Amino acid sequence: MESKQFKPFVPAERVMPEFTVFSVILGIILAVVFGGANAYLGLRIGTTISASIPAAVLSMGVMRIIFKRDSILENNMAQTVGSAGESLAAGAIFTIPALFMWASEGLTAMPSVVDISLIAICGGILGVVMMIPLRSALIVKEHGVLAYPEGTACAEVLMAGEEGGSKAVTVFAGLGIGAVYKFIADGLKLFPSEVDYSIKAYPGSGAGVDVLPALAGVGYICGPRVSSYMFSGGTLTWFVIMPLIVLFGSDLVIFPAEVSVAELWATGGTWGIWDSFVRYIGAGALVAGGFISLAKSLPMIVTTFRSAFKSYGKGSHGSLRTEQDLSTPVILGTIVIVTLFIWLYPGIPVSPLGALIVLVFGFFFSTVASRIVGSIGSSNTPVSGMTIATVMVTALILKATGTVGTEGMVAAIAIGSVICVIVAISADASQDLKTGFLVGATPKKQQLGEMVGVIASGLAIGATLHLLNAAWGFGSEELAAPQATMMKMVIEGVMEGNLPWNLVFIGVFIAVVVEILGLPVLPIAIGVYLPFHLSAGIMLGGVVRWFVEKKQYADEKTKNDAVQRGILYASGLVAGEGLIGILLAILAVLGVSADISGIISLGNIGGLVAYALLLCSFVLFTKNSGKK
């Protein structure tokens, strides 16, 4: 279908309430809620979820049911503002916690709330404005070629507005159940949220599962295939690599451990082996997976740049409402001002060279991300790969130009943080503008709304990270911050050469073998890097999705409706756990405990039973009267 023949849901000639105080305030609330929830989720398990559809459904439910407002463009604006929160959180938590970990090691000062917020806001604003000139080339001219799956799905939800009430109830139900479950497990501690068993008859191995609602939700959203890839990575490390380390290295002291493998196994069990060795193997697999994903995207990158340079700066500024972008002078002026601010503001430790790196890499990767999400969706975009490439190249450049040690490490992570946020927000803005293109929104109003969401969630993310760090500390069992820990290890390895490279290269060649076998590298590499217990919890959520999809339905539409209700319920579970996680962090900082495990505890069996009941609840929320 040619874009010139396309007619949006709301015609360009029709004017409806859109960028209103109501839609902006509701969007800000959603941005802060989903941003905080996604920050907690990403710091816990290293991955985040898209909030566009849940934000659209919730805004529809609030507007139509509670306030009796029926403008689809207002709904779209609220979800545009709201979805920016989860994307900005994803970009921030992949990198910024490394600064906290260096501060806890006494290498640098603790980053302030203001500095963190400004890093995130600068990256977010650059991500929005760098994507705007690409809208005409990628979304308008290639409509019917680039699918933008999340953006298209969100538009379908908005256009099916008469169903918004029941869908919103499903999200709220998931949110409530996830919140109550999380509080019982990690607040009251009625049962452990992690069930763990060491297998003494098979030294080095262990099994277990984290019985938490967010993992069930992520597994369902990812589906059985991606979940099984992650699970296979965990199985490889916990049932092959770790037993091999114990079997052949029992009496050896292997760097970076300071005691023998046998002593590690005797005192720390599987976690001692995992912490000392497997994390580095997993980091190598993730780094290699990121570069492989980036390399496979090179043809698309070349195509994108060829078309982008032809049309860059020639965005639509037509007379029709649906063709109006922010003007080129505003875009260029914003880029210049923000880049100068990044250089001159003392709280962002970036030199003129660093600001130039941000500008070049930011433009490059925002263009790449905007194109990739159009083809394969936001969930499959190699944000980690782009960020790893950035921090490694940046660290090498800084080291070559004499910026070394702690100063060089902090500068590299600051540059990486800004660029990671640019990539995440560019991808989100692309999906949101696709939604707006389909429903007939005004592009420049959406672009302003995206910036409002960036600023609101950026102001909240600094306080959120400080709160979570004060409660548990990044790199702890409660908040492993796997992506940021990996970035920290990579930068330290480049700057100081203190990585156990043999272990890293084992992970690299595991990723190479996976690629040779034709399997997706990044999901398996994430499974190698994360503890088996997390992958197991996600896998069980994927099994539930498989069960829902395999049931017999009257027709394909009925099946799709059931699956989508499950996704909405799963999104609610993730949001509910994330919000209670932040509440528990507040209580921990205040020294308040709700722990009743000393009075009553259901133990591991209770945890397994509770998780089984939670998984069964998906069946209730995906039921459909159209089933055979």
User: Does residue 88 or residue 496 have the better pLDDT?
Assistant: 88
Tell me what pLDDT residue 618 has: 95
- Summarize the confidence of residues 146-174 as an average pLDDT: 75
Tell me what pLDDT residue 87 has: 87
- Summarize the confidence of residues 43-60 as an average pLDDT: 78
Flag whether pLDDT at 318 surpasses 60.
no
How far apart, in whole angstroms, are the C-alpha atoms of residue 617 and residue 528? 29
> Tokens at residue 503, please?
């272990």
Flag whether pLDDT at 382 surpasses 70.
no
User: Does residue 118 or residue 366 have the better pLDDT?
Assistant: 118
How far apart, in whole angstroms, are the C-alpha atoms of residue 439 and residue 447? 15
- Summarize the confidence of residues 176-184 as an average pLDDT: 94
User: Residues of 98-134 as b/e, b for ≥16 C-beta within 10 angstroms?
Assistant: bbbbbbeeeebeebebebbbbbbbbbbbbbbbbbbbb
Mean pLDDT over each residue of the chain, to the nearest integer: 86
User: Does residue 368 or residue 525 have the better pLDDT?
Assistant: 525
- Summarize the confidence of residues 52-58 as an average pLDDT: 80
pLDDT in tens, 495-524: 887 778 899 899 999 999 999 999 988 789
- The pLDDT-based confidence of 564 (bands split at 50, 70, 90) is confident
Tell me what pLDDT residue 161 has: 64
- Summarize the confidence of residues 67-73 as an average pLDDT: 86
Does an H or E element contain 369, and which? helix 352-376
pLDDT in tens, 384-440: 667 777 888 888 899 888 888 899 999 999 999 999 999 899 989 999 999 999 999
pLDDT in tens, 578-609: 889 888 888 888 889 889 988 999 999 999 99
Flag whether pLDDT at 449 surpasses 70.
yes
Q: What are the beta bridge partners of residue 317?
A: 324
Tell me what pLDDT residue 582 has: 85
- Summarize the confidence of residues 287-294 as an average pLDDT: 76
Amino acid 79 reads Q
User: Does residue 339 or residue 298 have the better pLDDT?
Assistant: 339
Phi and psi angles of residue 350, each rounded to the nearest 5 degrees, phi first: -125, 130
Residue 611 contacts by C-beta under 8 Å, 6 or more apart in sequence?
209, 211, 212, 216, 537, 540
Q: What is the DSSP letter of 195?
A: E
Residue 396 contacts by C-beta under 8 Å, 6 or more apart in sequence?
494
Residue 320 contacts by C-beta under 8 Å, 6 or more apart in sequence?
12
Flag whether pLDDT at 468 surpasses 50.
yes
Residues 617, 623: contact at Cβ < 8 Å? Answer: no
- The pTM of this model reads 0.80
How far apart, in whole angstroms, are the C-alpha atoms of residue 115 and residue 461? 11
Flag whether pLDDT at 625 surpasses 60.
no
Residue 550 contacts by C-beta under 8 Å, 6 or more apart in sequence?
none
Lowest pLDDT segment from 42-56, 254-268, 391-405, 420-434: 42-56
Tell me what pLDDT residue 380 has: 54
Its sign, for the CA torsion 472, 475, 476, 477, is positive
> Tokens at residue 261, please?
């493998």
211: nearest Cα among 612, 615, 611, 614: 611
Phi and psi angles of residue 200, each rounded to the nearest 5 degrees, phi first: -65, -30
Flag whether pLDDT at 1 surpasses 50.
no
Instruction: Return the CA Rg of the chain.
Output: 24
Tell me what pLDDT residue 202 has: 94
- Burial class from Cβ neighbours inside 10 Å (0-12, 13-18, 19+) for residue 244 reads exposed
- The pLDDT-based confidence of 541 (bands split at 50, 70, 90) is very high
Secondary structure percentages of the chain, helix, strand, coil, to 5: 75, 5, 25
- Summarize the confidence of residues 542-552 as an average pLDDT: 93
- Which residue's structure tokens are 């490889």? 236
> Tokens at residue 372, please?
């990739």
Where do the structural domains in the chain lie, given as residue ranges? 22-168+289-487, 175-271+527-621
How far apart, in whole angstroms, are the C-alpha atoms of residue 198 and residue 59? 46
Residue 599 contacts by C-beta under 8 Å, 6 or more apart in sequence?
none
Tell me what pLDDT residue 314 has: 52
Flag whether pLDDT at 379 surpasses 60.
no
Other CB atoms within 10 A of residue 391 CB = 26
- Summarize the confidence of residues 329-333 as an average pLDDT: 91
How far apart, in whole angstroms, are the C-alpha atoms of residue 58 and residue 75? 9
How, if at all, do strands 194-198 and 206-210 pair?
antiparallel
Q: What is the DSSP letter of 161?
A: G
Lowest pLDDT segment from 1-5, 114-118, 498-502, 554-558: 1-5
